[in-house]
Structure 1
Amino acid sequence: MSRPSLHDCVRSVVEEYLDDLHDEAPLALHERVLAEAERALLQTVMQRAEGRRVVAAAWLGINRNTLTKKLQRYGLDN
């Protein structure tokens, strides 16, 4: 049995979120999805990298200083 792609996982979660809203219109959905996805990504990668920013930055393909700024933005810079 093959695993679902990341695209399929994201699509499924967005569909579920929209279903949960019922008839309520989503506000700033693009911005919110990107921010929530980035926050979850940072949390997960930092946990898997055991807090090592150099390792996490390499996994993410970003500069360590950029990672630090993103962690600060989301209040994850413990």
Structure 2
Amino acid sequence: MTASKDTPSPKRRKQSKVSPPPLKDSAKEAIAHFLDTLDGEPCSELYDMVLKQIEEPLLEAVLDYTQHNQSHAAAMLGLNRGTLRKKLRQHGLLNEPEPPKRRRSARTPKTPAKRKR
């Protein structure tokens, strides 16, 4: 059985995929737009601001991609899972259950024992 002329070969299918523009192009465009909106006003700490603003959507996108599997997300990002959890907590993205409330004991508290001299 031969493949029809209309069916592309597996090699051709890979070549026909259109790759998205590099992320750096989108980032450069967004930063240039931000700088244009400053209209000559001074700006400080731009580096920290950009990193903070890009980190949250990056974490959200990777978590969505990995179906919220933190181990897989950490591996994709090249982070330790503990570091990922810390970053998720910083951005309010970590869905942690509330710790159970401690119940007070009905017993009276013990008094410290007196030492013999």
User: Structure 2-normalised TM-score?
Assistant: 0.61
Alignment match, 2:21:
4
Q: How many residues align?
A: 78
Structure 2 distance, partners of 1:44, 1:11, is: 19
Q: CA deviation at 1:42?
A: 0.5
- Point out which structure has higher relative CO (alpha carbons under 8 A, 6+ apart): 1
- Map of 1:70 onto structure 2: 87
RMSD, matched Cα: 1.4
Deviation, structure 1 residue 58? 1.0
Structure 1 or 2, whichever has the larger Rg, is 2
When the two structures are superposed, what TM-score results if normalisation uses the length of structure 1?
A: 0.88
Q: Which has the higher helix share?
A: 1
Unaligned stretches of 5+ in structure 2? 1-17, 96-117
Q: What stretches of structure 1 of length at least 5 have no aligned partner?
A: none
